[in-house]
Structure 1
């Protein structure tokens, strides 16, 4: 490590104390009062190198200011029909909490199509969920459990993976790069469930390309993962696709309020209403506009590009069979 953690934290904190407005203001939105935990996340992402961590933080804050990220939760995707189309094709939601109070994010990797809107809308939606998690969900969980809760767990459902997933690699690489640079180390563990038969072969090729700290976070569970996940969360918090073996498509549940991907699920209703309320507060200052929020899209890191190319190569080997999704690149996979 080269430098003891406490000393590294002290040095980075000293450097961050010197930043001026508006970086200082957006940094407060990043750490939400949990300064040390935030510095540790960024230090982990840069292997505890103080200079690299400081640069990463300053770059992140400049990105936030330039792209008005602090206001993104006041910019709804409208009309509502378009937002519903985004939700139906970008399958993500919160199903509940672990017994330790960590939010459980469910991600429908295999059945997400990302074909109902432009790239900018999907990036906007992803960042809004990140910001809602960091500004609303995690602070609320911290207050409820009486201790800092600054990370989540993610359950990745691989149901429905096909060779067509190749078309999503570019978008998923963009999203994972945004997460790597600006929301590092936000995921405690990735649980991968409902894996297709070729997953193991592809995983052997991709796994060595992932950073060690990411590899340690990934757990591939048998079947729908129900039995293993029940060790860390109650049944009510299980994603709908983990509740019954062989339940088929994980896009839909019998009850839309149990399907955490659905716009009708309490999580998405709360998120949608929160964004709408924030937009009404800002409306006198800035009228609500239709159209997506344009965020500067970063160049993927070399290791991310290598992972994407490896996934593409492996998928082609399997012809038209089911394959490993580009979202495994998002395990570089989004240390978010």
Structure 2
């Protein structure tokens, strides 16, 4: 197979000491001296302002060190490249271009260049994917028609990387927090690309590479080339000539048989897209990145919140907060992420807290209403009895004998005992237990009130002012009903007797109480 002639790379886990060499936090004494000299020279020429009190330096050490690494810490070479890039940024108004870039045009540009997956490799570098086969002729021809917008679009994409992706990745927990993240890892998929198509894409890929090398020094980390077709060994000699030698040195061509194993040596499986053997549900052309839990917490995302469209447009990461940029944003997005999302989050939390408080208040009010209804229901018989006391007294004083055709009434003494029991105030949680006919016997003693049989717990004591509050804390509150006073012993009416003796015939009850028949 011609593919066997490719200079394939067998990847092994990265040696941290080697990977961090020349980076902030791991500079040698000579490299640190070069950085100090670089700063002094830039300051003298007006390209650098050091920190002063609360004012930050115009450029951080991470940015300056990138340009030094690009020139192997040669200060004059780094000075020339850096000042050229700074002059270009000022002349092209790059910051303004990025901050005012239209979000729809940004999405259009994303479709033809590497895309951020939202995940990071084992060193903490953001992982991008570039699926070259997705760049069909129709798409690239339409994109290239507006030649005046080709460079601004590439600039916006690179600015997104250095203004958001890299500083954000530095804020997310990673193995070496002392060293900010300054580059990215990229999976370049060249499967399903014909030889003719490779040649047609030469200019497109060269423009991006030149811009990265000249203006965004040392932002490209490792490049993993996958899906190489059988003829790739033939074109590889040409392709190498399209890029800067430093970029070519970072390209690792992976063999198809060990592709997943090689990627997994550098990138966690859950951060490798499924197409390449991992478990990440993300594909090239997705609306935006899919952040892991650590990244979502760092950003301040809400549970289940879709961040793809938000982050696949101009944004910045400043002082640990997201700053939304770009034109064409919805008012909802701007409001949600004002003040880095903290204000929107605080408002949401306050609304949620108010909602919970209102819900609890409603539940408590419903509970109180239910308690009052229960109290009223239990007190109605007592109040009704009190209202009928005169009638009951008159009935008890009337003669108990009727006409010869009236059945013999139950002796009044039985009802006297029953009435005495019925007029006692019962516990609010246990209604009186119905008695049998034996209770109507003249010789039966007055039964004791039955013990509560309900397995349910009694209602909670609501506190001062409620009818079931302890007497030691009771106060007068006209808004809450209180039980009517119990009727004096010996007084009764037909309703009380009927409740105490539900099995007794109604006629007997009436005759006993009123001396008449029904």
Please indicate the TM-score interval, normalised by the length of the shorter structure: 0.5 to 0.7
Q: Distance in 1 between matches of 2:286 and 2:255?
A: 25
Residue 156 (str. 1) matches residue 188 (str. 2): yes
3-state secondary structure, aligned to 1:93: strand
Residue 54 (str. 1) matches residue 84 (str. 2): no
Q: Distance in 2 between matches of 1:200 and 1:94?
A: 29
Q: Distance in 2 between matches of 1:219 and 1:58?
A: 32
Residue 7 (str. 1) matches residue 47 (str. 2): no
What is the CA deviation profile of residues 41-92 of structure 1, one whole-angstrom value per residue up to 9, with x for unaligned ones?
A: 21232343322211111110010011111123323336x3x55544444453
What is the CA deviation profile of residues 190-210 of structure 1, one whole-angstrom value per residue up to 9, with x for unaligned ones?
A: 110001111123224554886
Name the residue aligned to 2:427. Answer: none
Name the residue aligned to 1:314. Answer: none
Residue 127 (str. 1) matches residue 155 (str. 2): yes
Residue 166 (str. 1) matches residue 199 (str. 2): yes
1:253-264 to 2 correspondence within 5 Å?
258-263=282-287
Contact residue 240 and residue 260 of structure 1 kept, 8 A: no
1:1-336 to 2 correspondence within 5 Å?
4-20=30-46, 23-24=47-48, 34-35=60-61, 37-77=62-102, 80=104, 84-90=107-113, 92-113=115-136, 114-117=140-143, 118-145=146-173, 146-147=177-178, 148-162=180-194, 163-204=196-237, 206-207=239-240, 213-223=246-256, 225-243=259-277, 258-263=282-287, 266=290, 268-272=308-312, 274=314, 277-279=324-326
Q: Distance in 2 between matches of 1:200 and 1:273?
A: 37
What is the CA deviation profile of residues 105-151 of structure 1, one whole-angstrom value per residue up to 9, with x for unaligned ones?
A: 11112332423323444433332222122122221221223331111
3-state secondary structure, aligned to 2:326: helix
- Describe the shift of the 1:39–1:83 C-alpha distance in structure 2 as closer, same or farther (beyond 3 A): closer
Q: Distance in 2 between matches of 1:47 and 1:211?
A: 15
- Describe the shift of the 1:48–1:89 C-alpha distance in structure 2 as closer, same or farther (beyond 3 A): closer
After alignment, is 110-119 or 188-197 more displaced?
Answer: 110-119
Q: Distance in 1 between matches of 2:169 and 2:182?
A: 9
3-state secondary structure, aligned to 2:38: helix
Contact residue 93 and residue 261 of structure 1 kept, 8 A: no
Contact residue 88 and residue 261 of structure 1 kept, 8 A: yes
Instruction: Specify every segment of 5 or more residues in structure 2 that has no aligned partner in the other structure, as ranges.
Output: 1-28, 50-56, 291-306, 316-322, 330-518
Scaled by the length of structure 2, what TM-score is found?
0.44
- Describe the shift of the 1:4–1:206 C-alpha distance in structure 2 as closer, same or farther (beyond 3 A): farther
Instruction: Specify every segment of 5 or more residues in structure 1 that has no aligned partner in the other structure, as ranges.
Output: 26-30, 245-254, 283-336
Q: Distance in 2 between matches of 1:165 and 1:62?
A: 34
- Describe the shift of the 1:208–1:278 C-alpha distance in structure 2 as closer, same or farther (beyond 3 A): closer
Contact residue 101 and residue 314 of structure 2 kept, 8 A: no
Scaled by the length of structure 1, what TM-score is found?
0.66
Contact residue 37 and residue 75 of structure 2 kept, 8 A: yes
Contact residue 188 and residue 225 of structure 2 kept, 8 A: yes
Q: Report the structure number with the largest CA radius of gyration.
A: 2
Contact residue 91 and residue 109 of structure 1 kept, 8 A: no
- RMSD after superposition: 3.3
Q: Distance in 2 between matches of 1:121 and 1:187?
A: 23
Contact residue 192 and residue 221 of structure 1 kept, 8 A: yes
- Describe the shift of the 1:207–1:69 C-alpha distance in structure 2 as closer, same or farther (beyond 3 A): same
Name the residue aligned to 2:385. Answer: none
Q: Distance in 2 between matches of 1:281 and 1:168?
A: 31
